[in-house]
């Protein structure tokens, strides 16, 4: 028995969720991020929370970490010096891509910046046929020449992606061996190990992205591991994958691209867990932090996972939780553009210097400064009283950068900042819902992140969403999600064939091999077989189509009944995605997927009895607050969330404060607390129409 710790590093704060297995106590903590070396904030935070508990680092039995290092490296273009080895004649695939502009109607939009050093994309004589047979043997001497050239030109990471290696990887395996002989210190990624699927551009792009991130992630996670071991944490830490599961440091070093949306994916896993507790199976997650807002959609209580998405303009063909990220956070900077219009984001004040109201040298107005001026945030202290804020500095920043450049007074300028950032977030919510064919009114908004509950009700009201859930500790839900995650390994194999019963034996054999690979990997991680679980899926399409739909199988087996169900599920999914189905058209199997899941012990969050006669909460103070849609400030009560019990009811307008965030309950909203201490806010539509 000991402490389980989840750590999520954000641009402004590092969040901690701590669960003591013996007492079943769950608590949360926030610490300012140290952007120059995030492990400093992690170590300081762990030591502080254990000191508060009177515990030692030897009592830590589980440690998981969500990171944005790979994302930031791609955004800031600070990755490795990459060289590419591919089939002769195909070295320009990364430049050609899909032969289309990033935006069809914008001729000025630039393609993403190259990830490969100029002239360091090289083809070597070799060729594998589509059926896996060798057409041209590998020219090993040419490979050695290329590797020596890379070494002379400062390439420290090499990507290997040859044609049809997903069918027969023999040439890629030999190239990797030669690199080990000629340049053993180089980081190497081979496509047949990372993404053994067809589509050469997506496969090559994913391989190059992994090599681009490899050295920087290797340095980071080794520093993270050494730092926590240096203070006496004995367990091997985990890192979150983009699919919402956790992997070891070793696997993170080998496949860093799998951590591209590490931190945000943990929040979606946490939201799905809380949604199941609340009986909400249709959720839009609204994770607004200090730097960005992350939006995702959960259907049937399961996060949506895509097998390919663009990462900084390049396709990454790995399973990722579907998340839309925009530059809209508490630290997003407001400004007036050349046309006199107000902009908010994507630039952020970050943790240093931070919003002007923090008093750390920031002079630009941010969303947090606007919320301070509007009275939505405490105008003296935040983080449960641990951090001072300064109203006068917030007003000065808005006055000098917004009011003095427009005709807006202080009230309208601050309210305008919130209106703009809310509009930005509403557009992102529509992207994952309305633009995908979903009726947003059927969903519940799950608000978390340090700033999510500040904006959630007003954003929901504009969208027509009538129900909002605020978890017990919204500001640290991503770190809580790290305690709810299992370990998971995704395996895939491409082999195009007709979806017919004659091919069932071949399909069974493919799945058997993938499942065995998964079993071996889970056993390697020390997870006993009685805690293994498997999920099977097939990428399917109509004959002559060019893109597939991933269809989960209803059973981990393939027989005539499962085959018929898969074909029917494909027709239904095709109709939902494209508006029609063609039952008479032949259906093709393309790729076969197995997710091997290792079940990890998780905190048991127990439900408390709801008191139907819970006393009305009493505000500890009052403050003038200006809400969206209102003309003037309203005097409203300020409440401590710690005073709420299951069954507590509260009518807006009200402000609810806690250590990790502040919740805004506007007029015409009513809030209740359930048995898991979630606050559930509902909009009174009739009252709103009066």
* CATH for the 3-73+219-259 domain, from 3.40.50.10070, 1.20.120.400, 3.40.30.10, 3.30.420.40: 3.30.420.40
Compute the average pLDDT of residues 250-260. 87
Please report, for the chain, the start and end positions of each structural domain, with discontinuous segments joined by +.
3-73+219-259, 77-216, 264-329+428-484, 334-420, 487-598, 621-689
Note the pLDDT tens digit of each residue in 467-512.
999 999 888 888 888 898 889 999 999 999 999 999 999 999 999 9
The pair of three-digit structure tokens given for residue 387, joined into one six-digit string: 């951090």
CA distance 213 to 254: 10
Query: How high is the pLDDT of residue 11?
Result: 67
CA distance 596 to 173: 24
pTM: 0.84
Query: How high is the pLDDT of residue 291?
Result: 79
Nearest of 468, 3, 69, 10 to residue 249 by alpha carbon: 69
Compute the average pLDDT of residues 88-104. 82
Note the pLDDT tens digit of each residue in 14-50.
889 999 988 888 888 888 888 778 888 899 999 999 9
Over the Cα atoms of the chain, what is R_g?
26
The DSSP secondary structure of 596-649, one letter per residue, reads EEE-------PPPPP-TTPPPP--SEEEEE--TT-SS-EEEEEEEGGG--TT-E
Query: How high is the pLDDT of residue 652?
Result: 87
Average pLDDT, the chain: 90
Q: Count the neighbouring beta carbons within 10 Å of the beta carbon of residue 516.
A: 13
Of residues 444 and 259, which shows the higher confidence score? 444
- Beta bridge partners of residue 332, listed in sequence order: 348
Let me know: does 141 contact 125? Beta carbons within 8 Å.
no
Of residues 310 and 286, which shows the higher confidence score? 286
Measured N-to-C along each axis, helices 69-76 and 200-230 cross at an angle, to the nearest 10 degrees, of: 130
Query: How high is the pLDDT of residue 687?
Result: 59
Query: How high is the pLDDT of residue 343?
Result: 92
Query: How high is the pLDDT of residue 500?
Result: 95
pLDDT band for 636, please (50, 70, 90 cuts): very high
* CATH for the 264-329+428-484 domain, from 3.60.21.10, 2.60.40.10, 3.30.420.40, 3.40.640.10: 3.30.420.40
- In sequence order, which residues have a C-beta less than 8 Å from that of residue 29 and are 6 or more positions away? 15, 16, 18, 45, 48, 49, 476, 659
Asked if the domains at 3-73+219-259 and 264-329+428-484 fall in one CATH topology, the answer is: yes
Nearest of 88, 79, 62 to residue 114 by alpha carbon: 79
For residue 197, CA distances in Å to 105, 176, 255, 509 come to: 31, 19, 16, 17
Query: How high is the pLDDT of residue 382?
Result: 82
The pair of three-digit structure tokens given for residue 530, joined into one six-digit string: 């009685």
The pair of three-digit structure tokens given for residue 32, joined into one six-digit string: 């300012």
Query: How high is the pLDDT of residue 46?
Result: 93
Query: How high is the pLDDT of residue 689?
Result: 41
pLDDT band for 688, please (50, 70, 90 cuts): very low
Nearest of 313, 342, 300, 321 to residue 245 by alpha carbon: 321
Nearest of 48, 56, 52, 53 to residue 31 by alpha carbon: 48
Let me know: does 59 contact 2? Beta carbons within 8 Å.
yes
Note the pLDDT tens digit of each residue in 160-211.
999 999 999 999 999 999 999 999 999 999 999 999 988 899 999 999 999 9
pLDDT at 690 over 70: no
Query: How high is the pLDDT of residue 189?
Result: 96
Query: How high is the pLDDT of residue 232?
Result: 93
pLDDT band for 638, please (50, 70, 90 cuts): very high
Domain covering 487-598 assigned CATH 1.10.10 in the classification: no
For residue 274, CA distances in Å to 9, 229, 269, 468 come to: 21, 32, 9, 12
Let me know: does 455 contact 421? Beta carbons within 8 Å.
yes
Burial of 208 (0-12, 13-18, 19+ CB in 10 A): buried
SS3 117: strand
Note the pLDDT tens digit of each residue in 640-672.
999 999 999 999 899 999 988 899 999 999 999
State the pairing for strand pair 621-625/654-657.
unpaired
Compute the average pLDDT of residues 350-357. 84
């Amino acid at each position: 028995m000991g402490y389980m710790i989840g750590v999520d590093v954000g641009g402004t704060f590092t969040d901690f969720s701590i669960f003591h297995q013996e007492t079943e106590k769950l608590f949360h903590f926030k610490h300012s991020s140290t952007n120059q070396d995030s492990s400093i904030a992690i170590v300081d935070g762990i030591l502080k929370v254990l000191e508060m508990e009177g515990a030692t680092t030897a009592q830590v039995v589980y440690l998981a970490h969500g990171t944005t290092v790979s994302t930031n490296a791609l955004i800031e273009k600070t990755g490795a010096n990459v060289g590419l080895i591919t089939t002769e004649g195909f070295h320009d695939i990364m430049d050609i891509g899909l032969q289309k502009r990033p935006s069809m109607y914008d001729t000025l939009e630039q393609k993403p910046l190259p990830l490969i050093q100029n002239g360091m994309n090289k083809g070597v004589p070799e060729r594998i046929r589509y059926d896996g047979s060798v057409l041209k043997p590998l020219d090993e001497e040419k490979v050695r020449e290329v590797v020596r050239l890379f070494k002379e030109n400062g390439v420290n990471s090499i990507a290997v992606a040859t044609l049809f290696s997903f069918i027969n990887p023999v040439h890629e395996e030999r190239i990797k061996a030669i690199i080990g002989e000629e340049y053993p210190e180089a980081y190497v990624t081979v496509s047949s190990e990372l993404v053994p699927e067809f589509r050469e551009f997506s496969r090559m792009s994913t391989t190059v992205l992994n090599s681009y991130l490899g050295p920087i992630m290797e340095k980071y996670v080794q520093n993270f591991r050494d730092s926590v071991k240096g203070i006496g944490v004995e367990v091997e830490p985990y890192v979150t994958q983009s699919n919402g599961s956790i992997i070891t440091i070793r696997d993170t070093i080998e496949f860093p691209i799998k951590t591209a949306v590490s931190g945000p994916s943990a929040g979606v896993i946490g939201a799905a867990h809380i949604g199941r507790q609340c009986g909400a199976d249709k959720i839009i997650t609204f994770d607004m932090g200090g730097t960005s807002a992350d939006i995702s959609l959960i259907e049937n209580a399961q996060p949506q996972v895509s097998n390919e998405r663009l990462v900084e303009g390049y396709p990454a063909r790995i399973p990722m939780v579907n998340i839309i990220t925009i530059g809209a956070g508490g630290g997003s900077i407001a400004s007036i553009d050349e046309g006199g219009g107000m902009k908010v984001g994507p630039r952020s004040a970050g943790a240093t210097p931070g919003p002007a109201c923090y008093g750390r040298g920031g002079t630009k107005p941010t969303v947090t400064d606007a919320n301070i001026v509007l009275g939505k945030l405490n105008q003296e202290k935040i983080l449960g009283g641990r951090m001072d804020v300064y109203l006068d500095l917030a007003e000065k920043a808005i006055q000098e950068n917004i009011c003095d450049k427009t005709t807006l007074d202080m009230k309208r300028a601050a309210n305008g900042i919130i209106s703009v950032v809310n509009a930005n977030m509403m557009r992102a919510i529509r992207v994952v819902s309305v633009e995908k064919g979903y009726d947003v009114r059927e969903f519940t908004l799950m608000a978390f992140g340090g700033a999510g509950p500040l904006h959630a009700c007003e954003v929901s009201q504009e969208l027509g969403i009538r129900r909002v859930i605020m978890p017990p500790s919204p500001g640290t839900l991503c770190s809580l999600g790290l305690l709810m995650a299992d370990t998971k390994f995704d395996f895939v194999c491409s082999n195009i064939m007709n979806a017919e019963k004659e091919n069932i034996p071949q399909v069974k054999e493919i799945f058997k091999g993938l499942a065995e690979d998964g079993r071996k990997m889970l056993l390697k991680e020390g997870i006993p077989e009685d805690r293994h679980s498997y999920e099977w899926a097939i990428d399917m399409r109509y004959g002559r189509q060019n893109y597939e739909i991933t269809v989960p199988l209803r059973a981990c087996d393939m027989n005539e009944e499962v085959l018929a169900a898969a074909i029917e599920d494909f027709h239904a999914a095709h109709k939902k995605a494209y508006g029609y189905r063609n039952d008479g058209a032949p259906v093709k199997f393309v790729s076969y997927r197995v997710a091997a899941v290792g079940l990890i012990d998780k905190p048991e969050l127990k439900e408390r009895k709801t008191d139907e006669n819970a006393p009305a909460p009493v505000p500890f103070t009052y403050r003038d607050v200006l809400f969206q849609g209102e003309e003037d400030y309203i005097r409203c009560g300020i409440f401590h969330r710690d005073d709420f019990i299951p069954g507590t009811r509260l009518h807006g307008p009200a402000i609810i404060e806690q250590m990790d965030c502040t919740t805004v309950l506007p007029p015409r909203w009513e809030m209740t607390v359930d048995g898991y201490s979630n606050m559930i806010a509902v909009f009174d539509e009739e009252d709103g129409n009066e």
